[in-house]
Chains A and B, each alone.
Chain A
Amino acid sequence: DVKVTQSSRYLVKRTGEKVFLECVQDMDHENMFWYRQDPGLGLRLIYFSYDVKMKEKGDIPEGYSVSREKKERFSLILESASTNQTSMYLCASRPRQGRDEQYFGPGTRLTVT
């Protein structure tokens, strides 16, 4: 079974803090994705990566950065957290080729106060 894990289920941070959200997958997938999910807005793509050290902006990259130093790990960084970044963050991965779906991690609910 594919397993995608995220470092925390719940996180509370203060405005201005630097926040790291970690995602690890164990299936040697090339593609990894970070989404945020807000009521009424659905899943929105922040950043994605097609391989180690590669990254592409999604639809809402402002205020975020990412790091992919190892194939299995994709980190989302909030350089200076703000209250409008309070959200559910979901990581996903999939193989580069083939019909496979994206496999999601359990999500991190981040609250910025």
Chain B
Amino acid sequence: GQNIDQPTEMTATEGAIVQINCTYQTSGFNGLFWYQQHAGEAPTFLSYNVLDGLEEKGRFSSFLSRSKGYSYLLLKELQMKDSASYLCAVRVDRGSTLGRLYFGRGTQLTVWP
């Protein structure tokens, strides 16, 4: 199996910056996704990294280091609506299995006023 670790819970205040880390050990790595999931809803796509470095998209940025098996999601100028679970998912392409994702258990972020 794959080993994907992320913190279970994090808290932060409105307007602050929070960094959610994800580490992984896998073979056939072909990219890392971050999803946001509000309670009772389906996950929605936030970002995708396949090369080392930082990808920025508005208030959200995602970083990947393939050599270290490490990624983080950075959320700036936090808003109450950012309270959600954030899922790290590793894409594994191996043999005939293309596009399969392995998910971490999710990090529940609570933003306080």
Q: Which residues of A contact B (CB under 8 A)?
A: 31, 33, 40-45, 48, 50, 56, 59, 90, 94, 96-97, 99, 101-107
Bound: A103/B97 CA distance, A: 17
Pair count A-B, CB < 8 A = 50
Q: Which one of B20-28, B39-47, B58-66 is at the interface?
A: B39-47
Q: B41–A59 contact, CB under 8 A?
A: no
> Number of contact residues on B: which range applies?
20 to 34
Bound: A69/B1 CA distance, A: 29
**A41: chain B residues within 8 A (beta carbon):** 105
Cβ-based interface call for B98 (8 A): yes
Bound: A99/B101 CA distance, A: 12
**B15: chain A residues within 8 A (beta carbon):** none
Bound: A97/B87 CA distance, A: 23
Given A42-B87, A42-B103: A105 and B42 interface contact (C-beta under 8 Å): yes
Bound: A4/B47 CA distance, A: 19
Bound: A106/B48 CA distance, A: 21
Q: B98–A31 contact, CB under 8 A?
A: yes
Q: B31–A99 contact, CB under 8 A?
A: yes
